[in-house]
């Protein structure tokens, strides 16, 4: 039997109008979510994993990080974990459709299940749900000033090349994403 471990949290200020709250256990990041901005200073890392998470989040928002490389621990169904793992492998500026993810995990008819899994993602930003879009190339289910839409806009504005979809074949159109 292993000992109990109290989760540790870190709050990071971001340029998308909300703070990112990261939660870790004794081995990995188990949760992260965008929360209302808090007055005062952002949290200071209390250990090596959170210090690395802070460094990677800062590098991402500075445009220097293409893919997060942090240990993540998912709690969900086998299907959800497959979806979240596939999406976590996407790099900065790589957008795919729900159907692309379904095909990538060997469940080609499960695009609605992929959408449901993405809506339930417990680890925001590190599992980049904002990179999964509709087959028509539009961001689905996001309010006009939502964090998800702000992250899409952030990546589109800073990508070095046209929208890339190297891992999955996508039907997403560049024009619908706002590419010139």
100: its two tokens: 């692309």
Residues 55 and 96 in one domain: no
- Domains: count for the chain: 2
Domain containing 20 equals: 8-61
- pTM surpassing 0.85? no
Instruction: Please say which residue of 35, 61, 87 terminates a domain.
Output: 61
**Are 110 and 146 within 8 A, CB to CB?**
no
Position 69 in a domain: no
Per-residue pLDDT of the chain (180 residues), as tens digits, is 455 667 799 999 999 999 999 999 989 999 999 999 988 767 678 799 999 999 999 999 999 999 999 999 999 999 999 999 999 999 999 999 999 999 999 999 999 999 999 999 999 999 999 999 998 888 887 777 899 999 999 999 887 655 544 454 433 333 334 433
Closest to 174 measured CA to CA, from 123, 128, 132, 138:
138
Residues 121 and 148 in one domain: yes
**Are 4 and 42 within 8 A, CB to CB?**
no
Residues 13 and 82 in one domain: no
Position 161 in a domain: yes
């Amino acid at each position: 039997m292993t000992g109990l471990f109290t989760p540790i949290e870190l709050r990071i200020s971001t340029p998308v109008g909300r703070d990112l709250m990261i939660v870790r256990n004794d081995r990995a990041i188990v949760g992260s979510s965008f929360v209302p901005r808090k007055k005062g200073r952002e949290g200071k890392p209390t250990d090596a994993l959170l210090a690395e998470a802070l460094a990677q989040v800062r590098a991402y928002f500075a445009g220097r990080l293409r893919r997060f490389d942090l240990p993540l621990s998912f709690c969900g169904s086998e299907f959800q974990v497959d979806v979240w793992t596939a999406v976590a492998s996407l790099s900065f500026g790589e957008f795919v459709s729900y159907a692309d993810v379904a095909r990538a995990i060997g469940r080609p008819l499960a695009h609605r299940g992929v959408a449901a899994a993405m809506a339930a993602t417990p680890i925001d930003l590190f599992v980049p749900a904002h990179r999964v879009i509709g087959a028509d190339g539009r961001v689905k289910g996001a309010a006009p000033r939502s964090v998800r839409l702000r992250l899409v806009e952030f990546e589109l504005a800073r990508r070095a090349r046209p929208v890339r979809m190297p891992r999955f074949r996508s039907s997403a159109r560049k024009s619908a994403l706002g590419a010139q």
